[in-house]
């Protein structure tokens, strides 16, 4: 598992550290406090062999294919300095150092070189939680690669989390089809909650790249998911992460999501909440870890607590 990360000259981070990650990690903070950039830094830091390919992936996750300044913006304030990301995973230290600027000729997309490079970092699944980031074709590809046992497990988990009767999930005419007792409909006929949770579950069970110990990164995990479902969602994610050896990093703006996360974390005896904030005196983004007992006290005593600086 990823335990610590030190990021230099990447995105909004000039020099940033976060320590003490656990199997399940929820990240909060005000807008523009670096939550999404931390997920990107984790994603980038896992690309030890092929960092240039991940920059293309980040561009597409941001829906920024037409942003011709994107590659410059990957570096902090467009500085012509190396990006350095040092991580500690399972007690081992890994250091990624890139040379900037990149030669655009090296990152043509798609290409055979790109396809070969994907395998080297696909231990990390990443979604920025925008509908266009993971296409239906990609979801179908990942879902079709699963065996029937895993497909049935996803069907059962969706029923447990959302309290909806689903007989079967299949693919037909390049669409995910959901069969209920009364209908068989494409997945886009259902709400964002089912679509998003389905996407997370497929990422959990997918073994693309052959990595058994993956990292799942989810930005704004509450999107489209009613607060009444939050507890069951976390309950199942905690259980799955242990069964499948998947580490989770998710961001949120939702008080209800933080409350239910912490409730499950206390029951499971693992999991931590990380608060991102900008220290105005030092003009640096920082991160504070809150264990479940401390976070529970803060949630109970701070009337206006919304995942902002405490």
For 120-160, give the DSSP string: TTTTEEEE---TTTS-HHHHHHHHHTS-HHHHHHHHHHHHH
**Structural domain contains residue 182:** no
In this prediction, residue 214 carries a pLDDT of: 80
Between CA 194 and CA 56 the distance in angstroms is 28
What's the distance, Cα to Cα, between the start and end of the chain in Å? 27
CATH number at residue 49: 3.40.50
Q: What is the mean pLDDT of each run of 10 residues along the chain (310 residues)?
A: 93 95 94 90 73 68 71 81 88 80 45 42 47 60 90 94 92 89 91 91 72 77 92 95 91 93 94 92 90 83 57
Using CB atoms within 10 Å of the CB of residue 23, give its burial: 0 to 12 exposed, 13 to 18 middle, 19+ buried. Answer: middle
Q: By C-alpha distance, which of 114, 1, 95, 104 is closest to 48? A: 95
The strand pair at 92-98 and 124-127 is best described as unpaired
Answer whether residue 157 is part of any domain. Answer: no
DSSP state, residue 68: T
pLDDT score, position 52: 63
Among 184, 100, 188, which Cα is nearest to 136's?
A: 188
Q: What pLDDT does residue 310 have? A: 41
Structural domain boundaries enclosing 226: 2-131+209-301
Q: Residue 262 domain-assigned?
A: yes
In a domain, 19, yes or no: yes
Q: Is residue 267 part of a domain?
A: yes
In a domain, 256, yes or no: yes
Q: What is the pLDDT of residue 291?
A: 86
CB 261 within 8 A of CB 229: no
Tell whether 106 is covered by a domain: yes
Q: What is the pLDDT of residue 136?
A: 62
Q: Does residue 155 lie within any of the structural domains?
A: no
Q: Is 160 in contact with 147 (CB distance < 8 Å)? A: no
**Residue 155: per-residue pLDDT:** 95
CA dihedral of 284, 289, 295, 298, whole degrees rounded to 10: -30
Number of domains in the chain: 1
């Amino acid at each position: 598992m990823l335990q610590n990360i030190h990021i230099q000259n990447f995105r909004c981070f000039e020099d940033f550290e976060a320590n003490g990650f656990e199997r399940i990690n929820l990240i909060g903070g005000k807008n523009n406090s670096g939550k999404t950039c931390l997920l990107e830094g984790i994603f980038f830091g896992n690309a030890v062999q092929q960092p240039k390919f991940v920059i293309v992936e980040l561009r597409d996750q941001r829906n920024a294919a037409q942003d011709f300044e994107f590659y410059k913006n990957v570096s902090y304030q467009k500085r012509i300095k190396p990006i350095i990301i040092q991580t500690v995973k399972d007690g081992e230290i890994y250091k990624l150092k890139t040379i900037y600027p990149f030669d655009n000729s090296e990152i043509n997309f798609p290409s055979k070189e790109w396809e070969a490079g994907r395998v080297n970092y696909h231990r990390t699944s990443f979604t920025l939680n925008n509908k266009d980031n993971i296409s239906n074709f990609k979801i179908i590809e990942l879902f079709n690669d699963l065996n029937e046992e895993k497909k049935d497990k996803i069907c059962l988990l969706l029923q447990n989390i959302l309290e909806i009767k689903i007989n079967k999930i299949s693919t037909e005419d390049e669409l995910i089809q959901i069969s209920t007792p009364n209908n068989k409909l494409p997945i886009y006929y259902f709400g964002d909650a089912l679509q998003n949770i389905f996407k997370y579950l497929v990422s959990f069970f997918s073994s693309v790249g052959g990595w058994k110990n993956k990292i799942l990164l989810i930005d704004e995990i509450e999107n489209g998911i009613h607060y009444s479902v939050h507890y069951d969602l976390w309950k199942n994610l905690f259980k799955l992460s242990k069964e499948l050896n998947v580490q989770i990093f998710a961001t949120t703006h939702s008080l209800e999501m933080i409350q239910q996360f912490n409730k499950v974390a206390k029951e499971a005896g693992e999991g931590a909440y990380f608060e991102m904030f900008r220290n105005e005196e030092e003009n640096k983004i920082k991160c504070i870890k809150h264990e479940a007992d401390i976070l529970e006290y803060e949630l109970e005593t701070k009337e206006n607590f919304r995942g902002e600086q405490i």
